[in-house]
Amino acid sequence: METTEQRVLAIDVGGTKLAVGVVDGEGRVLENLRTATPQPGVTDSGEMIFRTLLGLVAELKTDPAEFVGVGVGCGGPMRWPQGEVSPLNIEAWRGFPLRARFAEAFPGLPVRVHNDAICLAVAEHWRGAGMHTEDMLGMVVSTGVGGGLILGGRLIDGHSGNAGHIGHVIVHADEPRCACGGIGCLEAIASGPRLTGWAAEQGWRPGVPADQRTGRDLVDDARRSHPIALKALARAGRALGLAIAAATVLGDLQVVAIGGGLSQAGPLLFDPLEATLRERLRLDFARPVRVVPAALGQEAGLVGAAALIVHPECYWSPKD
């Protein structure tokens, strides 16, 4: 049962930002602190990142004695439910024992770690765009592309905890090569860094260093009708439409909620996505699917991480 008195320590770990917060039993974020993800060398085993997280937690106003559990969303892949993480976008973490380290820091509390895109899907199902639906896909389109799958009102984990990982659905037969080693993955086309890289190859912002070209810059230029920026977002939208069409037919989905930085492009991304989706979906049962922006914004990761603690009957299948 949801109770406002519950206080969950929620953690959201991404390739570009770290967030910690306190979430109550109804999914309300009571506190929220963020900082950029440190970029340490591999030789320090990523300890700097974990120390940064603990430092943010120490800045929260809530007394740690009030916490009923620790929920964590982190980029994948990971060993699940052990919570040993190897995010593609955090090179310093390879097999980092994130769940065990938080269990050491907060002895006696349940600690649950899942993929950050899965946490977005959980949040949107619990309190966002997928409320009152039974079957949905939640997606993050940002530094990477990930997803989480809800079927029959429950999170589907798969045998390794990676079910719903739509970023590595193949949407192109021949190229480009993905960071995972595969070829033609959705993430290799539609993620922010890969999309800006492709645009630069086409002549967008020539002479600007790669680390100074962002997805936000690309969206801003598209809104000013820059032809290459428009073409890049249309390319991403088409790739997303192809992947979502396949997922919709496979999962008989009602809703697909898309969050992450690139989703802020609005119609520049969603229009080509919808056009491709409707072109490909021909079966009557699949046509009603709705593709919508995620409703919870930057708080989704924290809300979803908290749901792992508040509603394990729906969102956490392992026995702790």
Tokens 């069409």 belong to: 245
| Separation CA 82–CA 74 (nearest Å) | 13
Domain identity same for 167 and 275: yes
Q: Given this model, what pLDDT does residue 164 score? A: 92
Both tokens of residue 231? 């073409």
Q: For residues 182-215, b (16+ Cβ closer than 10 Å) or e, as one string?
A: eebbbbbbbbbbbbbebbbeeebbeeeeeeebeb
The enclosing H or E element of 32 equals strand 29-36
Answer whether residue 71 is part of any domain.
yes
The answer to the question of residue 121 being in a domain is no
| Same domain (yes/no): 277, 178 | yes
* Pair 252, 281: CB distance under 8 Å: no
Find out whether 192 and 269 touch, Cβ atoms under 8 Å.
no
Low pLDDT (below 50) residues in the chain: 1, 43
- Residue 1 is predicted with a pLDDT of 46
**Which pLDDT value is given to residue 112?**
98
Residues 58 and 179 in one domain: no
Same domain, 109 and 87: yes
Specify the pLDDT at position 45: 65
Residue 28 phi/psi, 5-degree rounding, is -90, 130
DSSP 3-state of 268 = helix
Our count of domains for the chain comes to 2
123 assigned to some structural domain: no
Tokens of 226: 């820059």
Query: What range does the domain containing 138 cover?
Result: 129-295
Domain membership of residue 1 (yes or no) is: no
Asked if residue 180 and residue 70 are part of one domain, the reply reads no
| Residue 42 resides in a domain | yes
Residues 144 and 46 grouped into a single domain: no
What is the predicted pLDDT for the residue at 141? 93
Q: Distance between CA atoms of 20 and 34, rounded to whole angstroms?
A: 7
Same structural domain for residues 222 and 137? yes
Q: Is residue 228 part of a domain?
A: yes
Q: Are residues 270 and 134 in the same domain?
A: yes
Tokens of 233: 């977002």
